Amino acid sequence: MIVKKESLKKHFSKASRTYDDNASVQLYMGKKLLEHIADGKFKHVLEIGCGSGIFTSEIIKTYSPETVSLNDISEEMLNTCRKRFSDYKNISYHPGDIEKITLKGSYDLVASNACLQWLSNLKVALNGFIEALDSNGVLAFTSFGNENVREISSLTNNGLKYLSYSEMDEILKSLTEPYSLHEEIIQFHYQDALDMLKTLKKTGVTGFSKKIWTRGMLNRFIEEYESRYSDEKGVYLTWHLYYAVIRKRG
């Protein structure tokens, strides 16, 4: 998927103050990913695309690592993490596009939650992450599949292109390390279509369409969405989730 990184940085920087209160999907994914990793002792952890640090908090709570290295393309997101973890002394911060950063150090765990779908060359990036692992280290990440937010795509004929399960599986297979890949398709509910759009915006994941919506277009979208994708709980949106765990051979 091709997304301009400067646009990506801009949208996530704007969302740095609102991310936590609206990232229920991302928090759900992160917790499930830790279940897929299962038991382990990880002393040195690198998180890619840490955002506001909600997944970082789960990592620290679960594994109590000695050191944590945090990367994000948005300096504003890292500033949010600096405030969040001000009492945690063994965290280092590494701003920038992870595809342009040379990773230094050896890690027991390299983790990423709801981030790697933005990369321009996932296979190359994953190989680099594996190289940064110690022997028997773990690379674990979540991403999104090709059925993601399909309701929005059906109404706008526009959206990000995500990898199918078979495409993701082929990439992981090419890495020649033992791995597991699980997928989950789940619906999250929102009060109404406008609430859904606001929630997406507050997590930085909208705004990549080249089309500028007028008020009339927005109203038509809301009306059509609520007529087609509502039930007794409100409006729903489908999320297609991938959980990948790669274990580097010793």
Q: Domain of 140: which CATH number?
A: 3.40.50.150
State the residue range of the domain holding 37. Answer: 5-247
| Residue 130 contacts residue 139 (beta carbons within 8 Å) | yes
Partner residues linked to 95 by β-bridges: 72
| Residue 134 contacts residue 141 (beta carbons within 8 Å) | no
Beta strands 107-112 and 133-144 are parallel
The domain tally of the chain equals 1
Model pTM greater than 0.85?
yes
Which two three-digit tokens encode residue 100?
A: 């342009």
Q: Is 97 exposed, middle or buried (0-12, 13-18, 19+ CB in 10 A)?
A: middle
The Cα 230–Cα 29 span in angstroms is 24
Query: What string of pLDDT tens digits covers the 250 residues of the chain?
Result: 456 788 888 888 988 889 989 999 999 999 999 999 988 899 999 999 999 999 999 999 999 999 999 999 999 999 999 999 999 999 999 999 999 999 987 999 999 999 999 999 999 999 999 999 999 999 999 999 999 999 999 999 887 889 999 999 999 999 999 999 999 999 999 999 999 999 999 998 765 455 678 999 999 999 999 999 999 999 999 999 999 999 999 8
Q: Is 158 exposed, middle or buried (0-12, 13-18, 19+ CB in 10 A)?
A: exposed
Closest listed residue to residue 85, CA positions, set 51, 108, 114 = 51
Secondary structure (3-state) at 80: helix
The Cα 110–Cα 90 span in angstroms is 16
